[in-house]
Amino acid sequence: MAAADRFSDADLLGRCGACDEDAWRLLVRRYQNLVYSTAREVGLDGDEAADVFQEVWLELQRSIPRIRHPEAIPRWLIVATRRLSYKVATRRRRLVPGISRDLVDPGTLPDAEIEAKTARARIEAALSQLDGKCARLLRLLFLDPANPAYEEISRQTGLAIGSIGPIRSRCLNRLRKILEENS
């Protein structure tokens, strides 16, 4: 894990405003999946989501000096992604289930959705800073919607069932430390 990865969102945005390209790349990396997942979740296909993905980051680059709440950057990204998803879908004259004018109005974005996506983005960003084995184990244990049993986790990770507990404990401690450093 690179020490340079350990910046808060506010640190990164501040550095982006000062034309620090490394900070910009770190910020994009941290939230790339949040943006892409949000575009796909509202019903866009891969090409449309790709357009939205590009536009969101360009909009962020234009908007950095105006952002007064850098700690809320996930919300900013979700709001922009939803609005641009609507724009792309309507520009292509495509009827997409789930695409409605509500996407344009930030007031229709439920706080619970922002909270969940922000938490997921932060955990995924922290997981990406862990080694692959730890990240895979923690995803299976804590984020996989299929809720796999230990036998399945053992099969997918190649870990003996008896070693899952101790490894999980070490990996969780590392994850917690990264989350603290990123916050």
Partner 1 sequence: MTAAHRHPAPDVWRRWVEDPSGPGGAELEAHLARCENCRTLVDGLRLAGPARRVEHWEEAPEDLVRAVFARTAERAPARPARTRAVPYEPLDIRGAAIVGGAGTRIASRSLEGGEIGVFVTPPAGDGTWKIRGKVWLRDEALADTDLRLVLAQGEHVLASTTTRSGRDFVLEEVLAPGWQLELHLPTGEVWTLEDPEHE
76 part of the interface to partner 1, by CB under 8 A: yes
25 part of the interface to partner 1, by CB under 8 A: yes
Would you say 7 or 24 has its CB closer to partner 1?
A: 24
Burial category of 162 from C-beta neighbours within 10 Å (exposed 0-12, middle 13-18, buried 19 and up): exposed
Q: What is the DSSP string of 134-166?
A: HHHHHHHHHT-TT---HHHHHHHH---HHHHHH
Short-list 126, 167, 159, 160, CA closest to 143: 126
105 part of the interface to partner 1, by CB under 8 A: yes
Residues 27-46 close enough to bind partner 1 by CB under 8 A: 28-29, 32-33, 35-37, 40-41, 46
Query: d(Cα 98, Cα 93) in Å, to the nearest integer?
Result: 14
Residues 159-178 close enough to bind partner 1 by CB under 8 A: 161-162, 165, 168-169, 172, 175-176
133 part of the interface to partner 1, by CB under 8 A: no
Would you say 32 or 182 has its CB closer to partner 1?
A: 32
Binding residue for partner 1, selected from 5, 8, 96, 106, defined by CB under 8 A: 106
The minimum distance between CB 33 and partner 1, in angstroms, equals 5
132 part of the interface to partner 1, by CB under 8 A: no
For the CA atoms of 99, 103, 108, 110, the dihedral, rounded to the nearest 10 degrees, stands at: 80
Residue 85 contacts residue 42 (beta carbons within 8 Å): yes
